[in-house]
């Protein structure tokens, strides 16, 4: 994990002090509501339906145990004792008081944390692959580049008042676990034919009201040019992105209206003028790489696959198969902590669980916990020999539901229980669906299925890239739900296709069941859900879902 | 009129003209459109010239580039404090076009933006908001660490180096 130096610490301290002053001026009437708005948003503070919401940055999803404990402390002291993990690897507090936020930011700063640019029309938290550095399919560890981009974008003087929000994701792996094609900028580390490592640059992806899959504007960007190229893209966007209509202000609309070729040409022209102004030197990259403390792996860690115990204990076996994955270091394995047990809002965790996770991370995974964009947690570096013990400990705190990647591992926004924008109670719909699929044998037989739910078309639940997407819409004050099939945010990124007219709230779980039964009837051998949908199209699903209407 | 210039509060003597007659001498600014029409008259007079750019029309700058050496002040007019185009225009002026004259902002901006505006090359501020200029001056010191390079020089990222073998 990246270790702050005195300068990094100074930035978060000074930011907390700045916000304390801004909040004071707001309460003194020296800043109007309208003036305070972007200032508080750029510190993660929203005013929501029932209470303010504070979004805490978790840079590329990494949290040290002391940071988890601080989040637990904040949840207990200033909130209702629980937090929510988001689809951009961040943490949200749903009930803080505005006047407490300066103190919260100071508490966070004391643990090298912050809420800088977690909202507002600026460059947001940099997200990445939750398996960065431990997966075998990686060209290079993306995290030092994530940190470089984090610092470059932090308090960037030119890009703090963009037309709209701006999200960047980076991956170093062959398989995309960071959804780089649905970000404003997606960066993929890769090796060119000459053997050099650089970035593929994807621009203009995004979800929300107008979901778009990003396009490659540069197939290979040398590392030295990373920051100048990002700066060129941002400058073209800042100068020419639309500001007349907030729903047309994202970079994806600019790319569409200019045409990707003209956009690329504008970026390249800008970049040629600045590419030697501040190249990213090899020595600088090395400095960042060296600031990451890496786990001190035990070269003698025994390889254990737990075959005997797995034969005896089906629960452990299911957890081992579904919630753990291979690690590139022999004797270690990656463990997912499911934040999707039955009856809990997807992504929610209590302060007590946070404290226990912190403790377990210290005992079993070098003190680091990672967050994923599917709203789960990861212990990336667990000795295989510890797996059984860890499973038992995770069961005690309800984080061992063996459903990672399965139908009940749903992505879901907080919905109208919290959010000022939402039309729908997405969480209760998620619970309805969940209850239909509690039979684990059935769940595992269905294989990998991603259901994503959003309470409104802003799409925080990423419905448009769910294998099954569910979107809450308002029809004359009633909650209705639009269902899409065939979306994906991974390598084969695609947008879901609408199944038909929206269904009433009490029909959503039935409809999902009908979709699943259709899949079971139509699948060929081991064919995954997404492949079946792509092969047969939505028609057979549609017939079944609307048969009784 | 008191403004902030080079991080000090100073009395300012620039006159901002719209369609008034152009005086024979003294410091005047005109909007870009008027500059286009009356360029020769403006250059022939005995006095310094400033041009006001509308930040909502970022292409104006490109058309002004050949004349920059003869213009002593560029005034960026901010109509909404949330519109960040001026930040890019200021950097282009300083870094791309090596503009050495005064870059001034006027209109709708917050003291909270002055730190950023200074970093992108703005050196004069016509502030008309609720705070005193003395209070506004403190905003330059909000942050003591600058990660990224900008008009004020190389940032911290550039200075962080680890030489191989050490």
CATH class of B2-159: alpha beta
**Where in chain A do CATH 3.90.480.20 domains reside?**
307-396
Which residues of chain B make contact with A15, given a CB cutoff of 8 A?
143
Q: What is the mean pLDDT of residues B80-85?
A: 97
| Percent of all residues in chain B with a pLDDT value above 70, rounded to a whole number | 98
Task: Give the start-to-end residue ranges of the domains of chain B.
Answer: 2-159
CATH 3.30.413.10 location in chain A? 127-288, 411-545
Mean pLDDT of A412-418: 76
Selecting from A158, A239, A288 the residue whose C-beta is nearest the C-beta of B150 gives A158
Portion of chain A with pLDDT greater than 90, in percent: 89
Residue B85: pLDDT band with limits 50, 70, 90: very high
Q: Which helix (H) or strand (E) holds A489?
A: none
Q: What is the pLDDT of residues A96-110, one digit of tens each?
A: 999 999 999 999 999
**Inter-chain touch B117–A121, beta carbons under 8 Å:** no
Residues on chain A touching B84 (C-beta within 8 angstroms): 121, 158-162, 238
Question: For B145, which of A10, A35, A287 is closest by C-beta distance?
Answer: A10
Residues in chain B with CB shorter than 8 Å from the CB of A166 are none
Q: How far is A233 from chain B (nearest CA, A)?
A: 12
Average pLDDT, chain B: 95
CA distances (Å), origin A22, targets A18, A30, A113, A199, B78: 6, 9, 19, 39, 21
What confidence score (pLDDT) does residue A50 get?
67
Across A286-290, A348-352, A405-409, A436-440, least confident range: A436-440
Asked if the C-beta of B155 comes within 8 angstroms of chain A's C-beta atoms, the answer is yes
Q: Is A430 within 8 Å of A469 (Cβ atoms)?
A: no
Residue B83 contacts A where some CB pair is shorter than 8 Å: yes
- Chain B residues inside the 8 Å CB shell of A273: 96
What residues contact B26, with CB distance under 8 A and at least 6 apart?
B13, B15, B47
Residue from A134, A94, A141, A118 nearest A15 by CA: A118
Summarize pLDDT for A298-334 with one digit per residue, the tens: 999 999 999 999 999 999 999 999 999 999 999 999 9
- Determine the number of helices (DSSP H) and then strands (DSSP E) in chain B: 6, 8
Give the distance from residue B42's alpha carbon to the nearest chain A alpha carbon, in angstroms. Answer: 29
CATH class of the domain defined by A411-545:
alpha beta
pLDDT in tens, A331-352: 999 999 999 999 898 999 999 9
Range name among A48-57, A211-220, B28-37 with the lowest pLDDT average? A48-57
**What is residue A49's predicted lDDT score, i.e. its pLDDT?**
64
Per-residue pLDDT at A420: 64
Residue among B84, B91, B160 whose CB faces A284 most closely: B160
Q: What is the pLDDT of residues A486-541, one digit of tens each?
A: 999 988 899 999 999 999 999 999 999 999 999 999 999 999 999 999 999 999 99
Q: Which residues in chain B touch residue A148, judged by CB atoms under 8 angstroms apart?
A: 157
The CATH architecture annotation of domain A307-396 reads Alpha-Beta Complex (3.90)
In angstroms, the separation between the Cα of residue A153 and the nearest Cα of chain B is: 8
Q: Dump the DSSP string for A311-374.
A: HH-HHHHHHHHHHEEE-SSTTEEEEEEPS--TTS-TTEEEHHHHHHHHHHHHHHSTTEEEE-TT
- Whole-number pLDDT of residue B166: 47
Question: Which of A42, A236, A251, B90 has its CA nearest to residue A228?
Answer: A236
Reduced to 3 states (helix: H, G, I; strand: E, B; else coil), residue A488 is strand
The pLDDT tens digits for A235-272 are 999 999 999 999 999 999 999 999 999 999 999 999 99
Greatest mean pLDDT among A84-88, A91-95, A113-117 lies in A113-117
Q: Which residues of B touch A287 (CB under 8 A)?
A: 160-162
Closest CA to B87 of A257, A121, A226: A121
Q: Rounded mean pLDDT of A46-71?
A: 92
Instruction: Go through A12-28 and write b for each residue having 16 or more CB atoms within 10 A of its CB, e for each that does not.
Output: bbbbbbbbebbbebbee
- The conformation of residue A35, written as its DSSP 8-state character, comes to H
A158 Cβ under 8 Å from any chain B Cβ: yes
- Tell the burial category of A438 from Cβ atoms under 10 Å away from its Cβ (0-12, 13-18, 19+): exposed
For A127-288, CATH gives: 3.30.413.10
Is residue B135's pLDDT more than 60? Answer: yes
> Mean pLDDT score of chain A, rounded to an integer?
95
DSSP H helical segments within A28-120, as ranges? 33-41, 65-78, 101-109
DSSP string over A146-171? HHHHHHHHTT-SSSSS-SS-B-EEEE
Please say whether the beta carbons of A458 and A208 come within 8 A. yes
Alpha helices in A93-245 (DSSP H): 101-109, 143-153, 226-240
Tell whether the torsion through CA atoms of A424, A425, A429 and A434 is positive or negative.
positive
């Amino acid at each position: 994990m990246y270790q702050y130096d005195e300068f990094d610490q100074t930035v978060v301290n000074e930011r907390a002090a700045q916000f304390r002053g801004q909040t004071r001026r707001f309460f003194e009437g020296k800043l109007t509501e309208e003036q305070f708005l972007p200032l508080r948003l750029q510190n993660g503070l929203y005013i929501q339906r029932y209470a303010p919401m504070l979004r805490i940055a978790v840079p590329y999803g990494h949290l040290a145990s002391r940071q988890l404990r601080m989040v637990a402390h904040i949840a207990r002291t200033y909130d209702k004792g629980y937090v929510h993990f988001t689809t951009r690897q961040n943490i949200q507090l749903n009930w803080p008081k505005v006047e407490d936020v300066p103190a919260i930011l100071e508490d966070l700063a004391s643990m090298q944390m912050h809420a800088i640019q977690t909202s507002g029309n600026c460059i947001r938290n940099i997200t990445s692959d939750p398996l960065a550095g431990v997966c075998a399919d990686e060209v290079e560890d993306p995290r030092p580049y994530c940190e470089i981009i984090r610092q470059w974008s932090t308090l960037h003087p030119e890009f703090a008042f963009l037309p709209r929000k701006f999200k960047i994701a980076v991956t170093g792996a062959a398989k995309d676990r960071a959804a780089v094609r649905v970000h404003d900028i997606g960066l993929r580390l890769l090796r060119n034919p000459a053997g050099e490592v650089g970035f593929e640059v994807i621009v203009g992806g995004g979800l929300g009201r107008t979901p778009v899959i990003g396009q490659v504007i540069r197939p290979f960007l040398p590392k030295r040019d990373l920051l100048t190229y990002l700066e060129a893209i941002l400058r073209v966007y800042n100068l020419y992105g639309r500001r007349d209509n907030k729903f047309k202000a994202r970079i994806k609309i600019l790319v569409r209206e200019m045409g990707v070729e003209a956009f690329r040409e504008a970026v390249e022209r800008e970049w040629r003028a600045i590419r030697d102004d501040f190249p990213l030197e090899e020595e600088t990259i090395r400095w960042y790489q060296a600031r990451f403390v890496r786990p001190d792996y035990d070269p003698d860690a025994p390889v254990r696959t737990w075959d005997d115990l797995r034969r005896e204990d089906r629960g452990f076996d299911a957890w081992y198969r579904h919630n753990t994955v291979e690690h590139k270091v022999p004797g270690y394995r990656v463990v997912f902590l499911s934040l999707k047990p039955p009856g809990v809002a997807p992504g929610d965790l209590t302060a007590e669980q946070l404290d226990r996770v912190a403790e377990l991370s210290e005992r079993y995974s070098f003190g680091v916990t990672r967050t994923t964009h599917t709203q789960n947690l990861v212990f990336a570096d667990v000795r295989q020999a510890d797996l059984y013990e860890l499973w038992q400990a995770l069961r005690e705190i309800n984080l061992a539901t063996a459903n990672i990647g399965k139908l009940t591992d749903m992505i879901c926004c907080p919905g109208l229980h919290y959010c000022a924008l939402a039309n729908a109670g997405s969480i209760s719909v998620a619970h309805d669906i969940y209850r239909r699929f509690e039979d684990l044998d059935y769940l595992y037989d269905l294989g990998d299925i991603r259901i994503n739910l959003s309470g409104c078309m802003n799409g925080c639940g990423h419905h448009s890239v769910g294998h099954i997407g569910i979107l809450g819409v308002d029809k004359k004050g009633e909650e209705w739900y639009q269902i899409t099939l065939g979306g994906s945010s991974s390598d084969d990124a695609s947008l879901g296709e609408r199944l038909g007219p929206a269904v009433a709230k009490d029909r959503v779980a039935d409809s999902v069941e009908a979709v699943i039964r259709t899949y079971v009837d139509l699948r060929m051998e081991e064919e995954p859900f997404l492949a079946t949908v792509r092969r047969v199209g939505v028609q057979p699903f549609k017939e079944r879902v609307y048969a009784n209407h | 009129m008191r403004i902030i210039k080079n991080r000090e509060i100073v009395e300012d003597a620039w006159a901002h003209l719209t369609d008034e007659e152009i005086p024979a001498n003294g410091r005047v600014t005109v909007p870009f459109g008027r500059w286009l029409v009356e360029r020769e008259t403006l250059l022939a007079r005995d006095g310094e010239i400033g041009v006001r750019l509308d930040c909502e029309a970022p292409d104006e700058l490109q058309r002004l580039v050949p004349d920059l050496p003869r213009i002593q002040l560029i005034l960026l007019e901010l109509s909404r404090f949330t519109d960040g185009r001026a930040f890019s225009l200021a950097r282009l002026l300083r870094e791309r076009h090596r503009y050495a004259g005064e870059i001034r902002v006027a209109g709708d901006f917050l003291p909270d933006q002055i730190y950023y505006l200074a970093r992108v090359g703005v050196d004069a501020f016509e502030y008309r908001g609720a705070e005193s200029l003395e209070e506004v001056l403190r905003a330059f010191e909000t942050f003591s660490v600058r990660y990224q390079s900008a008009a004020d020089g190389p940032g911290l990222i550039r200075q962080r180096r680890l030489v191989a073998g050490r």
